[in-house]
Amino acid sequence: YFVRLRNLIGSIHYWEPKLSIVVYDIGLSKKQLAEISTWKRVELVKFDFEKYPPFVSLLWNFAWKVCVIQNALEKHPTILWLDSGVELRHPLVGVRHFLEKDGFFGTTMEQRRHITGRTTLQQTFDYMKQYGLGELENYDERKIKIGPFCSGYAMGFDRNRVQSILDYTVQCANDENCISPSGSNPDNHNFDQSAFTISVYAHGLSYACEHENIVADTGNWFLPTIDETRCNHIELAARRWRSFRPYTKYIEKYESSEKLRPEFMNINNNNAEATVVERRVRFGDNSE
């Protein structure tokens, strides 16, 4: 995942040089931390698993991702979450437009071919209704089940307008029976994506995940221009594991003579072997 992160950071530095970036550390090695410390406009936040139920530290159930997003929104009023396998291919003009319009930005990306009810266990629906989600005017379980997933790869939130979407999802993420019911696996359940999708639909914002015109899915994931410095209509693309990461070379770095920044000093590296890394991007002016 770290090689993907390099490509993402380089793409942000190239296409959105004024954005402030936060990398959430859920198990980076000392070598990786040292490398990140050289990247400009990048802040590191070590995620504190001890504040959450023990099952949240099981990375496969993605409960941690919901909790990381909650943590980010507590600190910043507007955020854009991006998985490490995503890359920017254009200034985020459309993303900003939809986020300002709806208070939420999402995409179906590859998930358009996946129907929510087909890969979400019934227990998750039942638990989220118990939290009160079923009382919302737009909650219609039948419609949710036949609709496409809102992908977890790219999500934007305006805290003052859509906090409720996250609140219900956080309740699910902190309940193992909801986020990862007995018998759940990647073939029959989508964990954080299942919970987020149910909440987004219940809040009447399912249309806010329909942005294939600016986000490349698996069917048109590359849509290349003559080189990575040219752009077309695609703003975000899911490169994921696919090799050739063209934006790594655009990472802006501090000179080697500059001292490490304070936020990178004295970091606990108990989870040094885990290299999964996620990040979110805050919209707004940057000051280094």
* pLDDT tens digits, 39-53: 999 999 999 999 999
The per-residue pLDDT for 219 is: 58
pTM: 0.85
CATH of domain 2-121+147-162+205-282: 3.90.550
Count CA atoms closer than 13 A to 190's CA, side-chain side: 22
Domain ranges of the chain: 2-121+147-162+205-282
Q: How crowded is residue 226: how many other Cβ atoms within 10 Å of its Cβ?
A: 6
The 10s digit of each residue's pLDDT in 184-216 is 999 999 999 999 999 999 999 999 987 778 888
The 10s digit of each residue's pLDDT in 221-257 is 566 677 899 888 889 988 876 667 899 999 999 986 4
Percentage of residues of the chain with pLDDT beyond 90 = 69
- Cα gap 280→24, rounded to integer Å: 8
Sign of CA dihedral 35, 63, 112, 101: negative
- Cα gap 172→220, rounded to integer Å: 33
Q: If you ran DSSP here, which 8-state letter would residue 270 be given?
A: T
The per-residue pLDDT for 241 is: 67
Per-residue b or e along 40-60, where b marks 16 or more CB atoms closer than 10 Å to that residue's CB: ebbbbbbbebeeeeebbbeee
DSSP-based helix, strand, coil % in the chain, nearest 5: 40, 15, 45
Mean confidence (pLDDT) of the chain: 86
- Cα gap 134→140, rounded to integer Å: 8
- Cα gap 17→35, rounded to integer Å: 19
The single-letter code of the amino acid at 43 is E
**DSSP states of 171-235:** HHHT-HHHHS-TT--TTT--HHHHHHHHHHHHTT-GGGG--TTTEE-TTSS----SSTTS--S--
pLDDT band for position 79 (50/70/90)? very high
Q: How far is CA 76 from the centre of its chain?
A: 15
Q: Which among 139, 165, 148 has a CA at the least distance from the CA of 212?
A: 148
The per-residue pLDDT for 266 is: 40
